[in-house]
Chain A
């Protein structure tokens, strides 16, 4: 069975400081993992994805995530937060990797607040 645990419901940082959003997963298969961002009243935008290639994944807007199988983690980081990064972030695992059909399993989300 697949599941995702986002360890923090809220994270607050000052502009220019590092961001760390934590995610642990459980999967019966070799997982595909994603981070999505959602700004208020908007849809979800894909930040980055892991699909069994390099374990350090680079995404858009300076975000990165590292897949650690031994820790079943996929934490999202950014060296320097910007005000525009304030949003809800979802860690997501998919089943049936390589298949079109299936479903995504969402974490509960982490609300990122960036202070000036």
Chain B
């Protein structure tokens, strides 16, 4: 298995809702990442997990809450989002920096 799987592919949520994005990989990668991508822009790093511990938080608002239950799973819990949070959310994993990252196909999030 050489893929990163993200679910759901599309999500529409209201500003008072709570939802979660899920990411799974079975390549044995020990680093996992969340990126946010707005239209016509490059991805922006949100969080990095290394060996299931949060290593980097790029000053992301607390309405985004990451979780890494085990070495294969990464979640992003969403609560009280704003319309400007609408974007493509990408998960990625890597074994080391030289190998490059493997990206999932993303979750297209719309906040209404």
Contacts and interface: CB of A to CB of B under 8 A. Distances in A.
Interface of A: 32, 34, 36, 41-46, 49, 51, 90, 94-104, 106-109
Contact of A42 (B41, B50, B106): B106
A45 B104 CA distance: 9
Interface in B39-60: 40-43, 45, 48, 50, 55-56
A110 to B, nearest CB: 11
Contacts of A108: 41-42
A76 to B, nearest CB: 15
Contact of A46 (B41, B95, B100): B100
Contacts of B108: 41
A85 to B, nearest CB: 19
A102 B97 contact: yes
A97 B94 CA distance: 12
Interface residues of B, number: 30
A105 to B, nearest CB: 9
A88 to B, nearest CB: 8
B103 A44 contact: yes
Contacts of B88: 41
Contacts of A96: 97
Q: Is the interface of A mostly helix, strand, loop or mixed?
A: loop
Contacts of A97: 97-98
Nearest to B97: A94
Contacts, number: 68
Interface of B: 4, 6, 30-31, 40-43, 45, 48, 50, 55-56, 88, 90, 92, 94-106, 108
Given A101-B48, A106-B42, A109-B42, A43 B97 contact: no
Given A32-B98, A45-B103, 17 more contacts: A34-B100, A41-B106, A42-B105, A43-B4, A43-B6, A43-B90, A44-B101, A46-B102, A96-B97, A99-B97, A100-B50, A101-B56, A102-B48, A104-B101, A108-B41, A109-B40, A109-B42
22 contacts: A41-B88, A41-B106, A42-B105, A43-B4, A43-B103, A44-B90, A46-B101, A49-B98, A49-B99, A49-B100, A90-B42, A94-B97, A96-B97, A97-B97, A98-B96, A99-B97, A100-B94, A101-B55, A101-B56, A103-B45, A106-B42, A108-B41
